[in-house]
Amino acid sequence: MRLSARFLVVSVVLLCSVPSIRAWAVDLQEHTRLAFDRYAEEATENFLKRVRADAGTSVDGAQSSRARRLRDGAIVARAGGQDGIIGVSDGLVHHWFAASFIDGVTLADALNVSFAYADYHAFYRPILASRLLAHDGNTYRALLRLRESAGGMTAILDVTTRVEYFHPDPRTAYTISTSEDIREVKDAGSPREQHLPAGRDSGYLWRAVTLSRLIERDAGVLIEMETLGLSRSFPPFLGWIIEPIARRIGRKSVELSLQEFRTAVRARTQR
C-alpha cells in the first residue's frame, strides 16, 4: 500500500531548499546500500513481531491515550528510529512512523483506495502520474512519477514499487512495499527528458520501504505506517542547518500522507 507517496519526496524537498547542494552529485556506494538493507530488514522484522503480538488485541489498554487522540481525529507521528534520521556510511536512513483512525469506514473501503494505483495522482499532491504495472494475487507493481518544489527548484523522480498484501485475519491487513527502481528525471516533460542512471544522480532518494497495517475496529479503521528511505549524506558544513529541517519535513510528510489517504477513503465511501 503506497500510503507514503509524500515521504518518497522528502529528500527532494529538503535538498532542493538549498540551491548550492543540487550540483553536488554523488553515487550510491555498495556499502551504503547494504547498510540500508540491513536496517530495513531489522525494521521489517520488528514490524512483523508487533503484528503478531497485537493479533486479536484491542486498541484500548496500554495505548488508550493514543487511541483517544486517534478517535478524536488526530494523526500521531514520531520518529521510527532514533531521532528519525540515522547516519550510515556515505548515506542517511530516514525512518518515520504515523498512525491515524478513519471512523465510519470498513477495511474493504480502505483497501479499495489502496488498490487504486492508477488513481494515486488524484489522491496525493506530489504524484504527477501513476500506473499499475502488474497484479498477481496479493502482489502489485506500480510506477509513480513524483514532483516536489522548494527553494525555487523542482525535482522529479520515477519510482517503481512492489507491494505485497497480507491478511492474517478478516479484519486486518498489512503491506510491505519496496522500491524496485528509483530514477531521477532530467528535463522532465521536454523532448530532452531522460532518466539518470540509478544510484548515480543527486542522491535525493535511493531506496524506499513502507510498512503499513490496517485494522478494522471501533466502527472504523486504524492505520499505522512506517516509512524508510535512503538518501545521500548532508553536505559538509551544512548538516547542522539541514538536519533540523529534515526532521520537521520527515514528520510532516507522514502526517500529510495519512491525511490524504484518509480524505480519499472518505470521499470514495460518500459517493
Q: How confident is the model at residue 17 (pLDDT cuts 50, 70, 90)?
A: very low
Mean of the pLDDT values across residues 30-54? 94
How far apart CA 98 and CA 134 sit, in angstroms, is: 28
Mean of the pLDDT values across residues 3-28? 48
Quote the percentage of the chain above a pLDDT of 90.
50
Q: What is the CATH number of domain 7-18+26-255?
A: 3.30.530.20
Higher pLDDT, 187 or 214: 214
Is the per-residue pLDDT at 20 higher than 80?
no
pTM for the model stands at 0.84
At 244 the pLDDT is: 63
| CB neighbourhood size of 112 (10 A) | 15
**Buried-exposed string 49-84: b where 16+ CB fall within 10 A, e elsewhere:** eebeeeeeeebeeebeeebeebeeeebbbebbbeeb
Is the per-residue pLDDT at 9 higher than 70?
no
Q: How confident is the model at residue 203 (pLDDT cuts 50, 70, 90)?
A: confident
| CB neighbourhood size of 134 (10 A) | 9
At 5 the pLDDT is: 46
Helix (H) or strand (E) holding 109: helix 107-114
Answer for the pair 144, 161: CB distance below 8 angstroms, yes or no.
yes
When mean pLDDT is compared across 123-127, 209-213, 230-234, the lowest value belongs to 230-234
Question: What residue segments make up the domains of the chain, in order of their start?
Answer: 7-18+26-255
Answer for the pair 97, 213: CB distance below 8 angstroms, yes or no.
no
Q: What would you report as the CA-atom Rg of the chain, rounded to the nearest whole angstrom?
A: 18
